[in-house]
Structure 1
Amino acid sequence: MTAIPSSPLLSAADLKTELAGPRPPVLLDVRWQLGGPNQRPAYEAGHLPGAVYVDLDAELAGPAGSGGRHPLPDPEEFGAVMRRAGVSAGVPVVVYDGGQGWAAARAWWLLRWTGHAQVRVLDGGLAAWTAAGGSVSAGTVAAREGDFKPNPGAIGLLNADEAAALARSGVLLDARAGERYRGEVEPIDPVGGHIPGAVSAPTTQNVGPDGLFLAPDVLRARFEALGAGGSAGVGVYCGSGVSGAHEVLALSVAGIPAALYAGSWSQWSADPSRPVAVGPERG
């Protein structure tokens, strides 16, 4: 059985060491900006040597629709993307983005959910790599075809009904900004507010000013204060399933398993039959 890394994160210094070793990881560049321009030109201008670009909107999500703004991709199509990027079973993978961590966490979550056990996120992304003196290469990389075959279900996934039930029976964390949770503003989706019973837990509080994840004990204390970390089940949602993956990653760093409601608020709020809570408290 392939061993799961002790931490889902990897520092820039440790990545340098692994890349120089006998079993270097496959590198995936998944830079992305919500509502911004495609990041392929930025990748072509400079990326970690050997990294292959993966487009979040086109390759780490299915077409927007009833499943939300960033529904999960078809597993077989995702597997084909990963094979083209050089991903193989049993070969370590490291994913990174521009530093925010959301896109990298989405790629990490998808690979973990589809059964790849040895995937980690470069803590701090490209910014941390260059700050540590890491070199970058221009152009594109043609990877050697990998053999990864997805087997979905390795980690938890929630649908809307399951998320609603978990908000009552366990802990459902809302990873969006607090003002969106409270319903004060809603810049993207049909209505503001949150799933009744959910707890506000903004993703931005998972990292420090340097863009690096907080220490495991600090993250665990944060999530325990929100009710997670005990025997009750834990789930996460966000706007469209991207930043929520970052929260699942942070929970994993803290040693707390959690499931992702991938449809998230974009799916929930599009259905007028589903209840909406507003205000600062768990409603």
Structure 2
Amino acid sequence: MSSSTEICSAFIEAVPPGELNEVVNDVKALTSDDDPALIQKLKPAFQKYNEDQLLAVKLPGGSQHVLISAHNRLDASSSTYYDTATSTSFTFDHITQKASSPQSYTHESPHSDLIASISRSISSHFQEHYPASTSSTSSASTVCASAAASGSIAILLSTLKASPQNFLSGRWRSSFLYSRSTGTLRGVIKVDVHYYEDGNVALKTQKTIPETQVGSGDGATGDEIVRKVAALEKQYQEEVNRGVVGMNEGMFKGLRRQLPVTRQRVEWEKVRGYGLGGDLRGDR
């Protein structure tokens, strides 16, 4: 891999949620003369980014969003994924982030009964706690036999809020794996927020959930598993809220004034016109 490919791959993998197209356009503008084929060389980085972000995409002719992840990828060497809720497989272009070629598909699994039970329960949880998809919000959940963790059931939830006009984007991702053989649940919850009006502020945090016993020794029901997922999500949301309030009231106040002594925001685009030096010297 060339140095330019490595550098651009690192850029792609660090893109804030919902801002991949803007970064791709910048990469094209900066490198098109040096390596016209660079974007195609970056396909592994695009795939890693989209799967890690649990990207929610809409299928052609469909109304619901479905998730892109390593867990519901049909083949390690392909870009074909499936969705249990709609019994559909589809091809996904990681560069354009577009789905195509939807086909009827049912994934065979020894855990099909439990997957169906979890799917029914997670649907209710999702509708209650996650925003509906709109022009600026894309949300989806999926439950499937994990292709990335053999013998486990993947429970995935993701929502993106992208509002360029307000200089804001953010994504919440929950990835859980339930092992039917041990009756345990483990996973990770990630929160990424990017605010870039007159500056560049990012929040990137995650919590790893260690193996937790769910239900009785005979194995948990779908309702029991989803109740545990809901409890873990609520606990982490409260932790993040407390942390943000603490930073706002403590750390940020210690770094600077919330407003200048004039009690007005500084118009940074006009900063060259301010007579800061003269003001400090007392000039008139």
Same-fold status (TM-score > 0.5): no
If asked which structure has higher relative contact order (CA below 8 Å, sep 6+), I would say 1
- Structure with the larger helix share: 2
Q: What range is the shorter-chain TM-score in?
A: under 0.3
For normalisation by structure 1, the TM-score amounts to 0.25
Q: Which has the larger radius of gyration?
A: 2
For normalisation by structure 2, the TM-score amounts to 0.25
- Structure with the larger strand share: 2
